[in-house]
Amino acid sequence: MSVDLKVLSSSSYDRSSDEQLVDAVREGDSEALEYLINKYRNFVRAKARSYFLIGADREDIVQEGMIGLYKAIRDFKGDKLASFKAFAELCITRQIITAIKTATRQKHIPLNSYVSLDKPIYDEDSDRTLLDVIGGSRVSDPEELIINQEEFVGLEDKMSEILSDLERKVLMLYLDGRSYQEIAVDLDRHVKSIDNALQRVKRKLERYLELRDGGDSGC
């Protein structure tokens, strides 16, 4: 009988909306919490795959995303217009980015941070993206460059024009989550050569964006 009750309970969760599950968690339903976490685990992993941080294990970024998910469950208010999924995505992304920024301040590793190439900046007064403004306003740390792999796809054609063959190979391996050491082995280069190549990529990207922004100034 207990097995039947368990199946019924799981089936009930399947039929419930995320918002209803959050309410159940607030009422102390630990199984509803476990169900929500498991339901969104792959979503968190997909988000985490978009960000890479030198010196950190990919699972570290996934864990930060899971913390963001937990905060979303804790802080979601059902009276808001946003769905729980939209709110969870916001919390997960912010948690990952905050963790990466914190790590960059502590480690001071070249290119050990991020630039989200086509995500809206968290600035309510502007609808421009970091891709649009990095060349003009810069990020607070000149070594910071967070690369969002999903948003990089649209720039691949331009990258093939402004990057050398080595720089393009290094960047694509970096975006694939490889460490400096792994890239160096793959390309039969010294680690310092890989670091220098990524620094050149950053400078060329910034220069391209500066020129592009200057060309758009008359619009």
Do the domain assignments include residue 214?
Answer: yes
Residues 116 and 187 both lie in one domain: yes
Establish if 188 belongs to a structural domain: yes
Query: Going residue by residue through the chain (219 aa), what tens digit of pLDDT does each one get?
Result: 333 333 335 568 888 899 999 998 888 888 888 899 999 999 998 888 777 655 556 788 888 899 999 999 998 987 766 789 989 988 998 888 888 777 666 554 443 334 343 443 333 333 433 343 333 333 333 333 444 444 455 466 677 788 899 998 888 787 666 778 888 888 999 989 988 988 888 788 777 766 655 544 333
Q: Any idea what the Cα angle at residue 76 is, between residues 71 and 82, rounded to 5°? A: 125
- Alpha-carbon distance values, 28 to 24, 79, 99, 152, 210 (Å): 7, 20, 29, 42, 53
* Parent domain of 207: 109-219
Q: Are residues 103 and 113 in the same domain?
A: no
pTM: 0.48
**CA-to-CA distance for 124 and 126, rounded, in angstroms?**
6
